[in-house]
Amino acid sequence: MGKQYRVTNSTDEFDFEMIYEFISTSYWAKGIPVSVMRKAIDNSLCFGVFDGAAQVGFGRVITDGATFGYLADVFILESHRGLGLSKLMMEHVISHPQLQGLRRMMLATYDAHSLYQQYGFKPLSNAANMMEVWDPDIYLN
């Protein structure tokens, strides 16, 4: 990385419009209402990747800070991909003090399995034990 990138949890620095624009057009949250995205950020431990003052990446962990965490909404803007920024963000996520000692951390990914495997994520140990209520088109209805 030739530039000086940084990761922060300081949500007051976040570029909400950029985050919203990316996530509201993503395959996983297409059409998410602004109010829902704001509430999601407000109630999560968030990570922003910055190139100077410009935000170029985002991710959040939904957690109780004691037993469970769910990693969601991870992205790096296309113009900054291939620079190791997703790894930089994941190093901050995995080492964050509020996320130490969790019994389980989960995520869902369509195409980034090899990234997350580097940080200890594996397929579900017993998928038959897991259940879900899932409405992938909830924001489009």
Per-residue pLDDT of the chain (141 residues; tens, 9 = 90+): 456 899 999 999 999 999 999 999 999 999 999 999 999 999 999 999 999 999 999 999 999 999 999 999 999 999 999 999 999 999 999 999 999 999 999 999 998 999 999 999 999 999 899 998 988 888 987
The span from the CA of 15 to the CA of 28, in Å, is 20
pLDDT, position 104: 96
pLDDT, position 54: 96
Q: Are 112 and 71 in contact (CB under 8 A)?
A: no
10 is a domain residue = yes
Total domains in the chain come to 1
CB-neighbour burial class of residue 86 (10 A; exposed 0-12, middle 13-18, buried 19+): buried
Domain CATH code at residue 44: 3.40.630.30
Place of tokens 């940084």: 6
58 is a domain residue = yes
Number of Cβ within 10 Å of residue 8's Cβ equals 15
41 is a domain residue = yes
131 is a domain residue = no
Residue range(s) defining the domain that contains residue 72? 5-121
The beta-strand segments (E) located in the chain are: 5-8, 45-51, 54-63, 68-76, 104-107
The alpha carbon of residue 104 and the mean position of all alpha carbons in its chain are separated, in whole angstroms, by 16
pLDDT, position 114: 92
pLDDT, position 140: 86
pLDDT, position 48: 98
pTM of the full structure:
0.92
111 is a domain residue = yes
The span from the CA of 63 to the CA of 101, in Å, is 12
